[in-house]
Chains A and B, each alone.
Chain A
Amino acid sequence: MNTTITRGIEYLPRSRRRLVVTVALAGYPVAVAALAALKHTSLNRWLILVLLLVLLLPTLATLAVGYRYARGRIDGRGARLDERDLALRQQAYALSHRVLAAILIAATAITEIYLTSGNTLRFDANAFWPVAIWVIVYLPALPSLMLAWIETDQPADA
């Protein structure tokens, strides 16, 4: 069963892998935004928690799939890396850097527009934790996700 799942992940077609990466990257910000919106409603707190978990579950699952797909090829642990793996790792790190730079530039620009429009930003624990969790979860996972994004479909066994 475990081997079947592992092989299934290993041979995921690129279109599905890209869907997995998209869900993994978008899931958490969507969940945080939903939580921020739901906080201002009269919904029961437990219901909000359940909704949050439902939104986070696909994110966690897709992050796990992305990490498993890279199977040690990013950190080099437990995998014998050959020249193609090393080249792919380099490409994944380069793409991660580009994606991270784009996210940081976009976040800075949005904050700048928000602040110059006469709004104020309170940086308390409520604002800090979502950012901290994003950094803790996504920074290490980004190269694995990018590897899953760029690698072409595996050739059929012969």
Chain B
Amino acid sequence: MPEGQRRVHNRLAVLRAERGLSRKQLADKLGINYQTIGYIERGDYNPSLELALTIAELFRLPIEAIFSFKPMTPLSEEIFREPPAETR
């Protein structure tokens, strides 16, 4: 990753595994090289906004559910997390 760039964490590997997609299959759907998927999953490459939105569209998830500046917590933890007191 170029110097000075913030690391973008992502859940791509989990989502891909969940849907039983190989890197090659996902890359073909996105029109990119399969190595690029690996680099994104490893956090070595930050996708462009266009690619990030395309990935979100493909998985039918909001972009912030896939990409974040903060390290990702497991999805199950987010689903079953207690809502904040004021919203209860």
Q: Does B68 contact A (CB under 8 A)?
A: no
Establish whether residues B33 and A158, one from each chain, have CB atoms under 8 Å apart when the complex forms: no
A152 to B41, CA, bound (A): 14
User: Nearest residue in B to A79 (C-beta to C-beta)?
Assistant: B33
A80 to B41, CA, bound (A): 21
Establish whether residues A155 and B47, one from each chain, have CB atoms under 8 Å apart when the complex forms: no
Establish whether residues B38 and A154, one from each chain, have CB atoms under 8 Å apart when the complex forms: yes
Establish whether residues A155 and B33, one from each chain, have CB atoms under 8 Å apart when the complex forms: no
Mask for A129-153, Cβ within 8 A of B = 1, else 0? 0000000000000000000000010
The one of A83, A91, A156, A157 in contact with B47, judged by C-beta atoms closer than 8 angstroms, is A83
- Contact partners of A85 in chain B: CB under 8 A: 33, 36
A87 to B48, CA, bound (A): 10
Report the interface size class on chain B.
20 to 34
User: Nearest residue in B to A10 (C-beta to C-beta)?
Assistant: B35
A119 to B49, CA, bound (A): 58
A91 to B44, CA, bound (A): 15
- Contact partners of B2 in chain A: CB under 8 A: 91
Interface on chain A toward B: helix, strand, loop, or mixed SS?
Answer: loop
Establish whether residues A152 and B23, one from each chain, have CB atoms under 8 Å apart when the complex forms: no
Mask for B5-41, Cβ within 8 A of A = 1, else 0? 0000000010000000011000000011101101101
- Contact partners of B36 in chain A: CB under 8 A: 82-85
A65 to B85, CA, bound (A): 61
A158 to B45, CA, bound (A): 17
Establish whether residues B51 and A83, one from each chain, have CB atoms under 8 Å apart when the complex forms: yes
Establish whether residues A80 and B23, one from each chain, have CB atoms under 8 Å apart when the complex forms: no
- A-B interface, 5 closest residue pairs, ranked by CB to CB distance from nearest: A155-B38, A82-B32, A84-B36, A82-B33, A152-B44
B residues contacting A by CB (< 8 A) are: 1-2, 13, 22-23, 31-33, 35-36, 38-39, 41-42, 44-45, 47-48, 50-51
